[in-house]
Amino acid sequence: MSVEMSHIGISKIENGSIYGLFHLKNYNNLRIEFEYKKGEVFFTHHIRNMNDVDFFYEWRSKEKDDYTLFLLHYFNEVDRFNDIPFFNGRIVEEFLSYELGVKKHIIKVQYDEIPTTTTFEFSLEQQIYFLLCHVPIPMNSKGIHAGGIYVKGIHKEDFLSQETIQRMWEPFRDKTKYRLQLLHMLR
């Protein structure tokens, strides 16, 4: 058996636990919620109808272990970002975006050390930023990478250390066309 997800996401990080969800392609896109804590993964389901309960128990009895291994590998890959001593690469795209009237500076970077594009999203008005990293492991048989995960900004705790995030941003601080506006960010 193999992992067949249509989506994976992280909803929050709190008290040493990571909470998230994914959708199972082979089970009517059933939404599975999980908690990852101290190397263990715990699953619950999101019920839309009674068929979902049956799908959940069928999935859990047949494929839970495969998905547990996938998630353990997924979080291990995220943790490895902290071990990268320096980051090199290039800015591939920069633009302004407006979401619900809030201006955001978007900078997409292709690092030499990471095979997928990383996106920095800065909201100066709210004094927050997001770092969207794509975990470079396939989440289904079509080879689609395991989506993006926000590693900073919306969570009380972070996937990556503050030092890692600063190492990722520092090479591009002076290269972005928004350098004057973003000068104080991630210092």
Secondary structure (3-state) at 122: strand
Residue 47: inside a domain, yes or no? yes
Domain end point (choices 67, 82, 97): 82
Q: How many CA atoms lie within 13 A of 59 on its CB side?
A: 26
- What mean pLDDT do residues 79-92 have? 92
Residue 111: inside a domain, yes or no? yes
Q: pLDDT at position 112, please?
A: 95
Question: Considering the chain, what percentage of its residues have pLDDT values greater than 70?
Answer: 92
Residue 160: inside a domain, yes or no? yes
- pLDDT tens readout for residues 95-108: 999 988 889 999 99
Q: How many CA atoms lie within 13 A of 106 on its CB side?
A: 13
State the distance between the two ends of the chain, measured CA to CA, in whole angstroms.
46
Residue 144: inside a domain, yes or no? yes
Domain end point (choices 56, 82, 108): 82
The Cα–Cα gap between 138 and 134 comes to 10
- pLDDT tens readout for residues 100-144: 888 999 999 999 998 888 999 898 888 888 888 877 788 888 877
Report CA 19 to chain centroid distance, whole Å: 12
Q: pLDDT at position 154, please?
A: 44
Nearest residue to 20 via CA among 51, 38, 42: 42
Token digits of residue 153: 């900004």
Residue 187: inside a domain, yes or no? no
- Domain hosting 147: range is 85-182
Residue 128: inside a domain, yes or no? yes
Instruction: Report the number of distinct structural domains present in the chain.
Output: 2
- What mean pLDDT do residues 58-87 have? 91
Domain end point (choices 49, 82, 115): 82
- pLDDT tens readout for residues 5-29: 988 888 788 888 988 899 999 999 9
